[in-house]
Amino acid sequence: MNRETELDILIRGGTLLTMSEAMEIVHDPVIGIRDGKILFVDRSGPSTSPLPAGETLDASHSIILPGLVNTHTHLPMTLFRGLADDLPLMEWLNHHIFPAEAKYVNREMVYAGSLLAMTEMILSGTTTFCDGYFYESRVAQAAVDAGVRAVTAQGFIDSPASGTGTLPDNIEIAERFIDKWRGKSELLTPALFCHSPYTCSPETLKAIKKVSREARVPYIVHLAETRDEARIIRERYGVSPVMHLEKSGVLDDATVAVHCVWLEDEDLEVLAARGVKVSHNPESNMKLASGVAPVPDMLKKGIRVGLGTDGCASNNNLDMFQEMDTAAKLHKVFRRDPTVMDARTVLQMATIGGARVLNLADRIGSVEAGKDADIILVDTRKPHLTPLYNCYSQLVYAAGGADVSTVIINGKIVLKDRRFPGLDVEGILDRARKVARKIGEKGG
């Protein structure tokens, strides 16, 4: 192929939601992709004569949009899906999830669960995820093997858990993880994850943040998820969870705070002033009865918010279309206001908003010339997607992950017509089932 005159992929037709700053909608676009990048987005219609391409995709019955960005999950926990449902968070964690992790989490479990999760995410249009767990190198390796864009955060917790140790050990683990994965793949961003203010001491929170600041990598933390957490932190330190992290000096624009349900007015002001990003996980918050995060208030204050699914043990799937639908409707009924969290705003949170949360907006999150080619096609030839008046509404309120027909990540087709050209799905399923059988046999 002559690299100067030919394309890798050409997409013709359909309706493109660019999710750019101007939120352009382009009918019958022609999109050229070469060397992993979007070379051009032609708005003059399919009658134009673009460069020849190695592969041409007919999108005439599709909505084209950027790949979805899942800003928070725990991928290996796909293997705990359905293990302990219908329980309060603290009981769920302390009596089921933490003991299960202590028994069953190992490198093979993490790798098998991660590959299973990535298969599920690709099938539902997610092209980028942010994960936090233990043995995170196995998650990173699975992402490289599957060809999925990822922010992979090595997890730390002070209570007993696999793969962590004393504070000096954890500092070394953090530094070693970053050194190992920085620059390993253009699709991979290493990060660090402190589980929460109530499971990590101030010393751990500060030490891991120091490593992340020096290495200039994201710092992820569960924050203000439940009323119990707010109570525990206030009893221990005399302040709210947000103010505890503020006093610990770990809040800045490289911090991604997950959940942020139990916030006071002062907390919102601090998050906005420090440039902290927030990952909103409405389905997990609903299932665990954690509460409703004040996302409309965050957005009004200019806080950057993205959507996340959380792990499959508390959701129980990784479908970002379902997460969008839930996010929009939850806040409407909670506020008794049908105008809040409109479809356009929610789709922004799942695309360019998520990219901003992960500091990747210069590369992904919108379909524009020069950006990395992370693109999905949603097939609209379905009864539940007919008729089509408003693309934003259709995607948020009517579409599901199963409507995604084609997925492109970094200029490579990873799903075409619901089939994987490069993944052994049956092998991935078999590997996951083998690990799950061990968990079941031990009384999980």
| Token pair recorded at residue 390 | 């408003």
- Average pLDDT of the segment spanning 120-124: 98
Cα–Cα distance between 251 and 273 in angstroms, integer?
10
Q: What is the pLDDT of residues 102-118, one digit of tens each?
A: 889 999 999 999 999 99
Domains parsed from the chain with CATH numbers: 68-357 (3.20.20.140)
Indicate the range of 45-59, 191-205, 218-232 predicted with least confidence.
45-59
- Average pLDDT of the segment spanning 86-105: 86
Q: What is the pLDDT of residues 160-178, one digit of tens each?
A: 554 556 889 999 999 999 9
Closest C-alpha to 377, from 369, 367, 368: 367
Taking 60 as the threshold, does the pLDDT of residue 221 lie above it? Answer: yes
- Average pLDDT of the segment spanning 268-287: 98
C-alpha angle 242-247-249 in degrees, rounded to nearest 5:
95
**pTM for this one?**
0.96
Q: By three-state DSSP, how is residue 435 classified?
A: helix
Could you give the maximum distance between any two Cα atoms of the chain, in Å? 68
The pLDDT value given to residue 323: 98
Q: What is the pLDDT of residues 126-138, one digit of tens each?
A: 999 999 999 999 9
233 Cβ contact list (under 8 Å, min separation 6) = 197, 198, 239, 240, 241, 244
The pLDDT value given to residue 162: 47
Radius of gyration of the chain (CA): 21
Cα–Cα distance between 429 and 444 in angstroms, integer?
19
Q: What is the pLDDT of residues 382-437, one digit of tens each?
A: 999 999 999 999 999 999 999 999 999 999 999 999 999 999 999 999 999 999 99
Closest C-alpha to 369, from 2, 131, 42: 42
pLDDT band with cut points at 50, 70 and 90 for residue 301: very high
